[in-house]
Amino acid sequence: MKTSLLACTMLFCPVAFAAPPHWEYSGEAGPAQWARLTPEFGQCDGSNQSPVNLSDLVKAELAPLQFHYQVGGKSLVNNGHTVQVNYAPGSTLELDGMPFELTQFHFHAPSENLIEGRSYPLEGHLVHANDKGELAVVAVMFEPGQANPALSQAWQTLPTKAGEIHAFKEPISAASLLPANRDYYRFSGSLTTPPCSEGVRWLVMKQPVQVSQAQIDAFKAVMHHPNNRPVQPLNGRLVLQ
């Protein structure tokens, strides 16, 4: 006997409407336990995980990154783990001979990746996807200095509660998050949050970008706690520069 959609709606079908597993950055649902919270998070115990300490760097002929960004940041959401800007279609990164479209960018404080052991107070992740669903993340390190124009615009409507979404009155550009010098490190890794999916192309910009201390503090005040996953073993992976 088939159960109708209406019946599921009225009586509640736990399989169809199960909530995603809860995870945190500390405690019993913290990073050390992510892989054991649910089989869906099994890759969190994988051998090609992110973030990492970028060290033992290998010189390589890395192709210049080609950014084709439009003004497309349309809304800001507090998902309980970070503050994320959702981006309209049309902005791309050319990588490995194919376009990767910018879908969103978000932040971690302190930085998740370390550069030869150095931590930064804030790190931005610009997340891109190609037509195959493969991901490329451009990581930008931020250091205290002058206020960043994109964050000045975004932080005017900083959502303070998990689940809160604010639409921007005017779209914002991710271009001002990028450093003037586009030299970068490259390695193969994963998402830094569950389900920790591997096969992600990581591109970490060498030059940090300035943000004001007030902008850093505003983000930290909304998060209420550090939202960085500890660095993971390289397990023989090469970090190219």
Has residue 214 got a pLDDT over 70? yes
Q: How many residues does the chain have?
A: 241
Q: What is the pLDDT of residues 3-34, one digit of tens each?
A: 333 334 334 444 445 567 899 999 999 999 99
pLDDT-based confidence at 157, cuts 50/70/90?
confident
Q: What is the pLDDT of residues 87-104, one digit of tens each?
A: 999 999 999 999 999 999
Share of the chain above pLDDT 70, in %: 92
Q: What are phi and psi of 223, to 5 degrees?
A: -75, -35
Bridge partner residues of 209 (DSSP)? 142
Contact 85, 24 (CB under 8 A): no
Bridge partner residues of 85 (DSSP)? 76, 105
Q: What is the pLDDT of residues 164-187, one digit of tens each?
A: 999 999 999 999 999 999 999 999
The residue behind tokens 């971690």 is: 108
* pLDDT at residue number 132: 97
Amino acid occupying residue 30: G
For the chain, the average pLDDT equals 92
In terms of Cα–Cα distance, which of 119, 86, 140, 121 is closest to 219? Answer: 121
pLDDT-based confidence at 107, cuts 50/70/90?
very high
What contacts 177, CB < 8 A, 6 or more positions away?
105, 124, 126, 140, 148, 150, 209
Q: What is the model's pTM?
A: 0.91
Kindly list the structural domains of the chain, giving each domain's residue range(s) and its CATH number in brackets, ordered by start: 23-223 (3.10.200.10)
Active site residue ranges = 81
Has residue 211 got a pLDDT over 80? yes
Largest interatomic CA distance in the chain = 65
* pLDDT at residue number 21: 85
